[in-house]
Chain A
Amino acid sequence: MKSAKWENIFKGWNNSESETVHTLKKIPVFRNLSSKDFGELENMMHRRDYKAGDFIFKNRAPGEGMYIIMRGSIKITIGTRSGNENILAELEKGEFFGELALFDDEPRSANAIAIEDCKLLGFFTQDLMILQERNPVLGHKIMFNLGGLLGERLRKTNHMLIKEQSK
């Protein structure tokens, strides 16, 4: 018989990874974290289900945080679906989007729409704030990773600009 008490006592003996932790480990924002850190993050993550065609967020809507795709796929678009829709990217399982909203209060710069039924993990500014308060070491690790990620993107953009200018 499955008892909650026994389950609690032997928690951690079963080392098989949950789907959430498995997905989180692939995300650069959460690299170099211990399994204990992943356990804490797993408890903080918000699991959300979206049907095909649902808006995850709309362009110019106030943004609160990032989403990680656990199942399914989504598209990032500008414009409406009726005609002038411009697809900027299609993202699949294990990819993430909206991470800039963790830092700034600026509205979303594009639409995010579910291509098929999908399961997403949400990590928001409020969660990061709570994490900074409760577990500053983990909070700093994530901030450092986010900083690294943004730096990497800036470097890539600079390279592209230099290439364009040298043409």
Chain B
Amino acid sequence: MIEPQVNYIQQIYRIIIALIVIWFINLIWPFISDVILMLVFAFLFTTLLLSSVDRFERKIGNRGLSVLSVVIILLTCVSTFIGSFVSQISIQAQEFSERVDQTTMVNEFRSLGDKATSAMPSFMKSEESSSDYLANKLTEITQSVLGSLGSLVSTVGNFMFIAIMVFIFTIILLSEYHKFKKSLVNSIPNKYFEVGLKLIYNIEKSVSSYLKGQFLSAASVGGMSIAGLLLLNFFGANITLVIFIGIIAGLANLIPLVGPFVGMVPALLIAFMNNLGNDAATSHMFLGTIPSPFFSIDIIFMFLIVQQIEGNLITPALVGKSVGLHPMLVMIVLLIGGTLLGPLGMLFAVPASGVIKVIIKEIAFVRRNAHLL
């Protein structure tokens, strides 16, 4: 008769402890959130690079040197990409500013407005000169975009700090990963040892296959975007930096839902910069019927096709299966992640829920087999 009472008290005791833990985490969260974010990123990078480092280590026979080699190769690739992208884009921006001053831009927008108005059905045209309105509005938007670039520069400093810290954490994790894992495994009591080992392995597998799937799907988006842009160029779209746009579209695709739209922005900007003043491009019609100034509708349509192929064929095959979550659940989890942490929350929502799923599954397994452990 005493046992149920003891259990009841134990339950209350556990709930109180859980509430205290939640309250404490909530209290210290503002101070540790950045560090945790850095550690999560470092863990993800480590998961991605670990197999390469291990392979190098087997050949070289020295962990430190193999980490150094992989990091140097990675840094060379990233810095070459960023360096050449920045230099290309600055050349492009310089050419653009030399070619087009503000008056020319307003005139261009005005003529664009005129063309757009003339293409509209008569009931949609307002009495007031819509070309002036459109030109001013577009100039306003362009100037606000350029203005916001200033604030973007100010956040670069903060980003650089986070990037350097993530880089340092990644190097430490890469060099000591197996030791860290071993100490974690060693700390598991004998009773739960085999279950704990299985849990760690399944978490690693889930995160690693998710990341591999994501990167393969990002590479496919990049490849398809490059092919699509080259096809548009064949029809006279005059889009430069095609490979960079493709890579950015691929990388942006890592952020679910929002990413694909971010990917098309550079393509639209470059098409606009390259074709401003080109009458043929300004009056271009998509499929001969819909006005598509600077090939904008063509570009959006091309990216939508790429997203459909990626979303309906590639990702379900590569990523969905790796995490094993229902598509409906993925959407809900993405919305929760986005609401709580913004784009970063969306980026981590799916792998985090995959990990939580593995943990819940193993806890259920332990509870089911508790008498045998």
Binding site for B on A (CB under 8 A): 8, 12, 40, 43, 46-48, 50, 54, 56-65, 107, 122, 124, 126, 129-130, 133-135
Question: In the bound complex, do residue B197 and residue A124 qualify as a contact, i.e. CB atoms below 8 Å apart?
Answer: yes
Question: In the bound complex, do residue A58 and residue B372 qualify as a contact, i.e. CB atoms below 8 Å apart?
Answer: yes
Count class of interface residues, chain B: 20 to 34
Q: Which residues of B contact A122 (CB under 8 A)?
A: 193
Question: In the bound complex, do residue A126 and residue B58 qualify as a contact, i.e. CB atoms below 8 Å apart?
Answer: no
- Contacts A8-B62, A129-B201, A134-B51; A60 near B193 (Cβ below 8 A): no
Q: Tell me which of A8, A46, A50 contacts B185 (CB under 8 A).
A: A46
Instruction: Assess whether B140 is interfacial by the CB under 8 Å rule.
Output: no
Residue of A nearest to B50 (CB): A134
Q: How many A-B residue pairs have CB under 8 A?
A: 51
Complex: A8 Cα to B372 Cα, angstroms: 43
Question: In the bound complex, do residue B372 and residue A46 qualify as a contact, i.e. CB atoms below 8 Å apart?
Answer: no
Which 4 residue pairs across A and B have the least CB separation, nearest first?
Answer: A61-B372, A126-B201, A64-B194, A58-B372
Residue of A nearest to B373 (CB): A61
- Contacts A63-B194, A122-B193, A134-B54; A58 near B373 (Cβ below 8 A): yes
Which secondary structure characterizes the binding site on chain B? helix
Least CB distance, A102 to chain B, in whole angstroms: 12
Q: Which residues of A contact B64 (CB under 8 A)?
A: 8
Instruction: Assess whether B26 is interfacial by the CB under 8 Å rule.
Output: no
For the A-B complex with A65-B194, A126-B197, A134-B54 known, give 14 more contacts whose Cβ atoms are closer than 8 Å. A8-B62, A40-B58, A46-B185, A57-B194, A58-B372, A61-B373, A62-B194, A62-B369, A64-B194, A64-B198, A124-B197, A126-B198, A130-B201, A133-B51
Question: In the bound complex, do residue B369 and residue A61 qualify as a contact, i.e. CB atoms below 8 Å apart?
Answer: yes
- Contacts A8-B62, A64-B197, A64-B198; A50 near B190 (Cβ below 8 A): yes
Question: In the bound complex, do residue B194 and residue A124 qualify as a contact, i.e. CB atoms below 8 Å apart?
Answer: yes
28 A-B contact pairs sorted by A residue (CB < 8 Å): A43-B178, A46-B182, A46-B186, A48-B190, A50-B190, A54-B190, A56-B190, A58-B372, A60-B372, A61-B369, A62-B195, A62-B369, A62-B372, A63-B194, A64-B197, A64-B198, A107-B372, A122-B193, A124-B194, A124-B198, A126-B197, A126-B198, A126-B201, A130-B201, A133-B51, A134-B51, A134-B54, A135-B58
Complex: A57 Cα to B186 Cα, angstroms: 17
Q: Which residues of A contact B195 (CB under 8 A)?
A: 62
Q: Which residues of A contact B61 (CB under 8 A)?
A: 12
Q: Which residues of B contact A50 (CB under 8 A)?
A: 190
Residue of B nearest to A43 (CB): B178
Least CB distance, A106 to chain B, in whole angstroms: 13
Complex: A57 Cα to B178 Cα, angstroms: 26
